[in-house]
Structure 1
Amino acid sequence: METGTMIKHYGLFKLRIGQLPPMKRILLFVFLISVPLVQSAYAHPLIVDSNPVQSSNVPTANKVIIYFSESVELDYSYIKVFDSNGEQVDNKDTNYFKDDTALVVTTPQLQPGIYTVSTQVLSKVDGHLVPYSFVFGVGAVSLPTNGQPQTTEAIYFPEAGARFPGLVGQVIVLGSVISSLLIWKTIQRKNLINENLLVQKLYHGKFSSVTGVGLFLVFASNVLMLVIQTIRLGVPAINVMQTSFGSVWIIRMALTVVLLGIWFLFESRSEISFKKQVLLLGLSLALIGTTSMIGHGAASEQTLAIAIDYVHNLLASVWIGGVIFFAFVLMPVFSTLQGDKKDLLALITIPKFSSMILIGLGILIVTGPTLLWFLEDDVALLSQSQYGFLIIAKIAIGAAMVGLGFYNQFKIQRTAQKNLQSKDIAVYKKLHKSLRIEVVLGMLLLGTVALLTNASLPTSQIQQATAQQNDYVFRTTEFAEDAMFEVDIQPLTSGANTINVSVLGIDGNPLNGLEDLKVKVSNPQRNIAPIDVTMIKTDDSTKYEGELTFGFSGMWNVEVEAIRTEGTNQGASFSVFAKPRLTQLNFDVTEYTFPVNGTAPLYPVFDGKETLWISDTSKPRLWKFSLSDKQFRSYEFEGKTSVFLKIDDDGKVWFTDSPESKIGYFVPETEQFRIIPMPFKTIPIALETDLEGNIWVALVDRNSLLKYNPNSEQFQEYEIPTKPAGPVALKRDQNGNIWIAESQGGKIGVIEPQSGKIREFAPEQPLREPFTLYVDREQNLWISEHTGLNIVKFNPVFETFERVQVSDPNSLPFGLVEDKYNNIWIAQHTLDKLGVYDPYKEDFVELDIPSSGTFTQFLTSDDSGDIWFVEQRGAGKQGGKLGNVAISEVPSLGVASKQSLQQFRYSEITAPFLTVGIVATSLLFIKSMRDKRTLDSLIE
Structure 2
Amino acid sequence: MRRTRPRAPRPWRPRRWRSARWVWSSAASAWPWPRAARASWRDGREGGVRPAPTASPMRHATVRLLLVAAALLGALISSAGPVSAHANVVGSTPTANSVLQLSPRQVEITFSEPLASDFSRVDVLNSTGDRIDLGDSVVDPADPTRMTVSLPALEPDTYTVAWRNLSTVDGHSLQGSFVFFYRVEPTATTPDIADPPVLQSPADPVVRWLVLAAAIAAAGIPMFALVVLRPAAAISRTSASALAPLEAWVRRATVIALTALLVLSAAQIWVQTSIATGATLDVFGEPMLRVARDTRWGQAWAWRVLLAGAAVGGLLVSTRVRSGWLARNGRHVSLALALGALGTFSFASHAAATPEASRPAIGADLLHLLAAAAWVGGLFGLLGALVVLRRTLPDAEERRLLAAAVPRFSLLAVMSTTVLVVTGLYSTWVQVTVFRGLASPYGWALIAKIVLFAGLLALGAVNLLRIRPALPSAPRAAGLLRRIVRVEVVLAVLVLLAVGLMTSMEPARQTAEREDARAGLRFEGEDGATQVELRLQPGTVGANRAIIEVRDRRGEPVEDAERVVLRLTYLDGEFGADSFTATGGEDGRYVAEAVTASVAGVWQTEVLVERPDAFDARSAFRFELGATAEVGSRIEISERVAWQLAVLGSAVIGVAFLAIGWTAKRDRRLPQAAVTTAGVAALSLAFVLLGRLPTDSTALAGGRNPIPPSAESVAMGQEIYTANCAPCHGEALHGDGPGGAGLEPPPADLTVHVPLHSDEALFNIISLGVTNTAMLGYEDELTADQRWHLINYLRSAAADVDAAAAPAP
With the shorter chain as reference, the TM-score category is 0.3 to 0.5
> Of Structure 1 and Structure 2, which has the larger fraction of its residues in strand?
1
What's the TM-score once normalised by structure 2's chain length? 0.44
Larger Rg: 1
Q: Structure 1-normalised TM-score? A: 0.39
